[in-house]
Amino acid sequence: MTLHPPTTLDAAPSFIANAEFGHENVLISTGRRSGLVISVAVHSTALGQALGGARMWNYPHWTDAVADALRLSAAMTLKNSAAGLNRGGGKSVIHLPMGVTLTDAEKRDAMLDLGDAIESLNGAYMTAEDVGTSAELMAIVAERTEHVCGLPTDLGGVGEPADATSAGVYASILATCEALFGSRDVRGRHIVISGLGQVGGRLARALASAGAVLTVSDINLDRKLLAAELGATWVDADEAHRVDADLFVPCGLGGALSPQVIAELQVDGVVGAANNQLAYRHGAAELAGRGILWAPDFVVNGGGVIYLDMATRPDADAEAITLRVEAIGETVATIFRESVAEGITTLDAAERLAEARLVAA
């Protein structure tokens, strides 16, 4: 292991952190090859085998990594249910101490250990790539367990899900435009995208070709090249949320919607790919109080899990996947309507929708 400058991640202190422990099973083990603490949290299998990615990241203490696994796996239960999948919620987290990065050989050991941990759960949980892992690393996990998806296409896998995630966010943007402006046409709409990575970059291309007026930002200044290619206006990352526009689209890391950001937003709606956007649960009510329509993240970004679930079935059908991902827009529209009809936040409405399926199961 080598030293590397510490970084932080989207371990946003979201509402999930305050939830009571309700997990079916949590496995915490020390990898026999890597010596790393590996947590596999199975929150719920009420709807089927739990599905959620494997995160490998730096945390101050191994218990922080476990807390992240608990929080993220509970969020996956809601996400998979809201996506209409017969999948439960789970997540695995490999704890890297602060300042540590792994060599390729050490990553291999960590993935084999992860595979063993997942295999010991007898099919309760299926993993995929997440922050800090990749399709290539999932191929190593597959040496120890069949309960892994999203392997590279050249190895017969279904690859990474960013196209589907981006398509689901796009459908959600159209639904949000319709609710706010009475039209799904994004031509001439001013949209601010914060984070031009796998998902944000694809969205920027799609929105630019549909005629949206784009302002974009990323902490990675290399992404200015994409902005120039698309004719988008570039703004510093800490200024993006202050731009006066129609929509703010967070596609970076979690926790972007802090009290200060919510107070400073100059848009009519927020709809983006980032997980755990709300830095605090009450943010949903504060956004509503400011007259800003927020499309709940765990519904909006469900395209990735829909793709992983449907593309790995023996009867996989590309057209059915496309339709299912586009239907995320209808789910978002339903949540907006419920929120108005019931006088509740869009977060409450989205949780109700997800929980209804769980209760029925």
Ligand X SMILES: NC(=O)c1ccc[n+]([C@@H]2O[C@H](COP(=O)([O-])OP(=O)(O)OC[C@H]3O[C@@H](n4cnc5c(N)ncnc54)[C@H](O)[C@@H]3O)[C@@H](O)[C@H]2O)c1
Which residues here bind ligand X, judged by CB under 6 A? 10, 161-162, 165, 194-200, 217-220, 223, 237, 251-254, 273-275, 301, 304
Q: Does 196 carry a binding-site annotation?
A: yes
**Rounded distance, CA 65 to CA 9, Å?**
11
Question: Is 157 marked as a binding-site residue?
Answer: no
Q: Backbone phi, then psi, for 41, in 5-degree steps?
A: -105, 120
Catalytic residue, candidates 79, 91, 107, 224: 91
Rounded distance between C-alpha atoms, residue 136 and residue 165, angstroms: 19
Query: How long a stretch of residues is the chain?
Result: 361
3-state secondary structure of 265: coil
Give whichever of 200 and 269 is closer to ligand X, judged by the CB atom. 200
CB of 116 to ligand X, least distance (A): 26
DSSP per-residue string spanning 267-322: SSEE--S-SS-BSSTTHHHHHHHTT-EE--HHHHTTHHHHHHHHHTSTT--HHHHH
Does the annotation place 200 within a ligand binding site?
A: yes
User: Residue 112 or 271: which CB sits closer to ligand X?
Assistant: 271
48 is in an annotated binding site: no
Specify the amino acid at residue 176. Answer: T
Nearest residue (CB) to ligand X, 34 versus 77: 77
The minimum distance between CB 235 and ligand X, in angstroms, equals 10
| 141 is annotated as contributing to ligand binding | no
CB of 324 to ligand X, least distance (A): 15
Please report how close the Cβ of residue 346 comes to ligand X at its closest, in angstroms: 18
What is the rounded distance in angstroms from the CA atom of residue 323 to the CA atom of residue 345?
A: 27
Whether 91 sits among the annotated catalytic residues: the reply is: yes
Instruction: Sort strands 88-97 and 37-44 into parallel, antiparallel or unpaired.
Output: antiparallel
Residue 39 near residue 95, CB atoms below 8 Å: yes
Least gap, CB of 147 to ligand X (angstroms): 19
Q: Which is nearer to ligand X, 34 or 165 (CB)?
A: 165
DSSP 8-state code for residue 21: P
Instruction: Tell whether 51 is in a known binding site.
Output: no
**How far is residue 230's CA from residue 182's CA, in Å, rounded to a whole number?**
26
112 vs 128, beta carbon nearer ligand X: 128
Measure the CA–CA gap between 125 and 54, rounded to whole angstroms: 11
What gap in Å lies between CA 355 and CA 338, rounded to an integer?
14
Count CB neighbours of 348 within 10 A. 18
- As annotated, the binding site includes 195-200
- As annotated, the binding site for NAD(+) includes 195-200
Q: Which residues are catalytic?
A: 91
